[in-house]
Structure 1
Amino acid sequence: MNEQDLKQKLLRFQNPLEVVRDQWLNEQGTALDEERGHVLCTLADTRDAEQDYELGEAFRKPGQDEGVRMC
């Protein structure tokens, strides 16, 4: 996956830098010498971020915001 593809994948999120920051922090305990590219590739290769972070409005599925809501 090239850098442009990685950027496009991150731009789907409401707060892409938050996603990168949290992934970076998660990896600091085990891989202090890893480069930013590894963090971005990990985000691109896994779907974990989609479970933990809100996607940008343009990338949400129709009706995704519907359902049970807590007050």
Structure 2
Amino acid sequence: MKIIKKLAITSAFMLVSFSGLAQSITASGATLDAAEAAIAQQAKQAGASYKITSARFTNGAYISAELIK
């Protein structure tokens, strides 16, 4: 019975910790500046700051970022 309780408690803590992960957002634009401005706008609407995780420029700019609350 103790093992079942410990397993249930451990599972609950894991679910809580995974729910606190940062939210990923993406944006695209004609230039990197335009795509970053879109990321900044999304972060502002969410009331958070952001950290760019990837950016590429192929026939347009594409940026991925994580929101940091």
- Return the TM-score normalized by structure 1: 0.26
Name which structure has the greater RCO, CA cutoff 8 Å, separation 6+: 1
Greater CA radius of gyration, 1 or 2? 2
With the length of structure 2 as denominator, give the TM-score of the two structures: 0.26
Higher strand share: 2
